[in-house]
Amino acid sequence: MASVFEYAPAPESRSVVDIAPSYGLFIDGEFTDAADGKVFKTVSPSSEEVLAEVAQAGAADVDRAVKAARRAFEKWSALPGSERAKYLFRIARIIQERSRELAVLETLDNGKPIRETRDADLPLVAAHFFYYAGWADKLGHAGYGADPRPLGVAGQVIPWNFPLLMLAWKIAPALAAGNTVVLKPAETTPLSALFFADICRQAGLPKGVVNIIPGYGDAGAELVAHPDVNKVAFTGSTAVGKAIARQIAGTDKKVTLELGGKGANIVFDDAPIDQAVEGIVNGIFFNQGQVCCAGSRLLVQESIHDELLDSLKRRLSTLRLGDPLDKNTDIGAINSADQLARITALAETGEAEGAERWSPACELPSSGYWFAPTLFTNVTQAHTVARDEIFGPVLSVLTFRTPDEAVAKANNSQYGLSAGIWTEKGSRILAVANQLRAGVVWANTFNKFDPTSPFGGYKESGFGREGGRHGLEGYLDV
């Protein structure tokens, strides 16, 4: 960063959000303590400051929440679609009205920069509710028969990387289709879900339609296993996804899993280089790389490898890492000490296996969980950093010679969630995209989301689609 034009701190005000010292579980329209009185603390990853104490759901609470959702289901599913739509539109509007507050809250609890929560997370959250509100009275036209029925109670478990957005992806289609939900947010990021509970009350949503039960993995497992849950929706790690699949085997529960990824970002020699560099940066450093569809493998045509790497390194040197609430911050904090340890260990493995590690000169704050943007070059398919999902700001750079080789290497992964293609040649985009085994393929862009577009994986990245018309299927008895 140029020293003569030093940006003064431009922090977004914390005063727009009022975080209470403690929060309960949201069950049947009320905030209540956990049955066993357990609580846990949620901290701000950028400072390790304790933000609030939150009730921790256990088996009894899961049961209570599922029963509340079951009681609410009959009336909710019997409402005309146009009535359910009214609630969803109302929720969407309240989210828009409170978006600044929610953006600051999300940044505090998650550690991601305010620039992202303000410009990406919150607009997408509102858009998702608006979009599915529109479907609520048109389910008969979605291609699933004249009058498709909801499933019942949906048990939903979401991750910490996009806490409110993943909530929206889960709750909006579920409610539009006429289901009621019990949602467990991640233990490191429960706050925005609890604020959403307040929004449900503000919108006058009938009691029990949405229940929010913060807790750990055990509560998630209880929810998945609960006999009165008809649908399980999970976004998170492949290991937990496999456990869930085993858990529900032999039941009639419908399930959608959105799991890990190791997205290939393929840059051909005729790519728009400057924009490709932006796309690579956005692909792996958006949300500190804690994105399941991150473009964590850069496949670059060998003939432009050096030129592209020079551009990429120059660009990384301008990334601004620091206080997530500062409006000029590009890279925020890693979400938790555990995640930081995992990223650190995998990066060390990369070095130990002989890949070349590079980071821009970058001062890390003394408190909180931080990891500098990192590149690995001289990476081959055999390296751990080319195969395992790191879920952090770490990019592995590999090369290819021909389009066939690019496709072969891109597909040579246990995952199949996302991929990117960079070329000015339209026919190549179409040809390569058709051969990629990935749920989302971006052309000359990366990490672009829209509620109308289905999202989901191949292989160990999971199954089922969220978003778009396709996203309704997971919540309808079809």
Partner 1 sequence: MPTTLTAFADVTTSDSALRRFLHGLPGVDAVGLEARAASLGTRSIKTTAKAYAIDLAISMIDLTTLEGADTPGKVRALSAKAVNPDPTDRTTPMTAAVCVYPDMVATAKAALNGADVKIASVATAFPAGRAALPVKLADTRDAVAAGADEIDMVIDRGAFLAGRYLETYELIRTIKEACVREDGSAARLKVIFETGELSTYDNIRRASWIGMLAGADFIKTSTGKVGVNATPANTLLMLEAVRDFRAQTGIQIGVKPAGGIRTTKDAIKFLVLVNETVGEDWLSNHWFRFGASSLLNDLLMQRQKLSTGRYSGPDYVTVD
- Applying CB under 8 A, which residues contact partner 1? 1-10, 115, 119, 270-276, 278-279, 318, 327-328, 424, 444-445
CB closer to partner 1, 83 vs 119: 119
- Nearest distance from C-beta of residue 1 to partner 1, angstroms: 8
Give Cβ neighbours of residue 4 (< 8 Å, ≥ 6 apart).
none
**d(Cα 445, Cα 454) in Å, to the nearest integer?**
17
CB of 358 to partner 1, least distance (A): 19
Give the separation between CA 144 and CA 138, rounded to whole angstroms.
Answer: 11
Task: Identify which of residues 245 and 443 has a Cβ nearer to partner 1 in the complex.
Answer: 443
Smallest distance from partner 1 to CB 313, Å = 13
Q: Whose structure tokens read 């409006």?
A: 327
CA dist 110 and 114 (Å) reads 10
C-beta atoms surrounding 13 within 10 Å:
9
Q: How far is CA 145 from CA 152, 211, 473, 478, in A?
A: 18, 29, 11, 8
Q: Which is nearer to partner 1, 60 or 430 (CB)?
A: 430
Tokens found for residue 177: 């289709």
CB 351: neighbour CB atoms within 10 A? 12
Residues ≥6 apart with Cβ < 8 Å to 119: none
In whole angstroms, how close is the CB of 428 to partner 1 at the nearest point?
13
Alpha-carbon distance of 153 to 174, in angstroms, equals 9
258 by DSSP, 3-state: which? strand
> How far apart, in whole angstroms, are the C-alpha atoms of residue 228 and residue 93?
32
Residues 130, 132, 136, 139, Cα dihedral to 10°:
140
Task: Give min distance, CB of 420 to partner 1, in A.
Answer: 12
Q: How far is the CB of 422 from partner 1 (least distance, A)?
A: 8
Residues with catalytic roles: 258, 292
